[in-house]
Every structure is written in structure tokens, then in C-alpha cells.
Amino acid sequence: MDKERKLIIAGNWKMNKTVAEALDLVNGLKLELGKVKDVDIVVCPPFTALGEVSKAILSARNLALGAQNMSEHKPGAYTGEIAAQMLKEFSVRYVILGHSERRIYQLESDELISKKAQAAHAAALKPIVCVGETLTEREAGQMEKVLETQVRGSLAALTKDQMVETVVAYEPVWAIGTGKTATAQQAQDAHAFIRAQLAKIFDEAVARKVRIQYGGSVKPANARELMSLPDVDGALVGGAALEVRSFADIVKNSI
């Protein structure tokens, strides 16, 4: 597939996998995906498995490591938190920020996500910043307003250079873990809208470079169509990233 931007496909393992299970999964992915080129493949295990998965992918050139969250603070007295510097120790390169589950269960605000994104860049980590509307918001005709608020609120404080190194994940909340995927038209419309917001906040050149992933019930069967859309530059995969076969097939079907 000839895309303007390099595809980035990330597996968000969420609160799943013991260290042993994480190693099984990543070793399987190494075998399946070892020869795949021209796509950035990222695995995001839970914090407890980062160390071992990091060692396991040392020999895999095309697999990068991501975390699922981090603190906005530098190391210090923040019980239970993990700082960017600690992720760097395990060669983490990406960090998912503002996932809808964190926005909902931990009440993360755009303001907090913005601070985390800035802290990630300060440590040379690439944030994957998630945005997306709920079903109620979509049905009330508020999708664009919600996306505009989230994009501006969580990204506008970045510099242009930082924005280019940031990945945005459009994840309609109603499509996450529900088996419902946005239609090709819904995904393309939302992605184009997000890119237009980035052009307004930064400029056209920045907006053209930013990779926007789609997330929400991505599967081997729908990956190709979604990845072929002009403004879709990758996927953030939850459930289907927990097994070698389905995640490997998503990657292979996308290229």
C-alpha cells in the first residue's frame, strides 16, 4: 500500500498478560512479523512486563516498545506513578496517553493529558494521544465539537516539532471492545476533521506529517479497508492484539 505517511500499528494490551504470557506473545510476534518492513509495529504491555518484553525485542529491529500511561511529573513523591525517565530505562519509545478508559475511569482531563504529552516529549518519548466521542455525543451531533475540544486541549501546547513526532489515535468510544467498527466513511471523516484541526492549530505542513491511527474493534478482516483510507495512518488495537495470529494478520493485511 502506498501511503503518504508510514503506517504505525500498535497493540494496546491493557491490563492483560503476566510476564510469561507477555513473553509468549512477543516471541510469537517476532517470528510472525520479523520480515515485515515499512510499518512501525509497537507493543504496549502492562508496566510489569516492560522489562522482560524489552529484552525480548532487543534483537527485533521492527518491533518497538510502548507504555500505556505515564505520570506528568518528574521522579518524586507520587505514590503509584511511573515517570517518563523510568520508561526510558526499558527502551520504551512510545506512550499511550489519554486513552478513553483513562479519561472515563481515572477522569483524565485534556489539561492533564497535555501535561503528560509535554513530559513525554521532554524525555524524548513519542506520545500516542487518544481522542474520540461517545455514542451519546455522536448521536447528539457533537462529534466534531468533542474532537475539536480534545485535540486542542491535549495537543495545542506542543511545539510544531513535537506535534510532528506525536501520534494521534482516533478511537470512537462506542467502537472500543464492542465489536462495532466505524464505517470507512465515518473513520475517514473523523480523521480528516482531526487533521484539519491540526492545520488550524499548527499549520498545513505539520498536519500533513502527523500520523493518525484508528482504534476500535480493529480486526484482520477490517484492517485492510481502514488502512487504505487516505487519512488513516495506522491502528491502535486492543482485543485483537492479545493473540499472535490476529495481531500479526492485522499488520500483514495492512501492508
Residue 254 contacts ligand PGA per CB under 6 A: no
Smallest distance, ligand PGA to C-beta of residue 100, A: 7
Smallest distance, ligand PGA to C-beta of residue 251, A: 14
- Count CB-CB contacts under 10 A for residue 28: 15
Residue 176 contacts ligand PGA per CB under 6 A: yes
Q: Which residues, 178 to 217, sit near ligand PGA by CB under 6 A? A: 215-217
Number of residues in contact with ligand PGA under rule CB under 6 A: 13
Q: Which residues, 67 to 96, sit near ligand PGA by CB under 6 A? A: none
Inter-residue contact 151 to 197 (CB < 8 Å) = yes
Q: Which residues, 1 to 30, sit near ligand PGA by CB under 6 A? A: 12
Half-sphere exposure of 13 (CA within 13 A, CB side): 26
- Tell me the one-letter amino acid at 171: E
Q: Which residues, 216 to 235, sit near ligand PGA by CB under 6 A? A: 216-218
Interface residue with ligand PGA, options 237, 244, 248, 250 (CB under 6 A):
237
Burial group, residue 94, by CB count within 10 angstroms (0-12, 13-18, 19+): buried
Say whether 76 sits in a helix, a strand or coil: coil
Active site residues: 99, 171
Smallest distance, ligand PGA to C-beta of residue 77, A: 31
Task: Closer to ligand PGA by CB, 12 or 162: give it.
Answer: 12
Contacts of 31 (CB under 8 A, 6+ apart): none
Smallest distance, ligand PGA to C-beta of residue 253, A: 15
Residue 158 contacts ligand PGA per CB under 6 A: no
Euclidean distance between the first and the last CA atom of the chain, given in angstroms as a whole number: 5
> Is the alpha carbon torsion for 51, 53, 55, 61 positive or negative?
negative
- Tell me the one-letter amino acid at 56: A
Burial group, residue 200, by CB count within 10 angstroms (0-12, 13-18, 19+): middle
Task: Closer to ligand PGA by CB, 71 or 215: give it.
Answer: 215
In the complex, the residues that contact ligand PGA under the rule CB under 6 A are 12, 171, 176-177, 215-218, 236-240
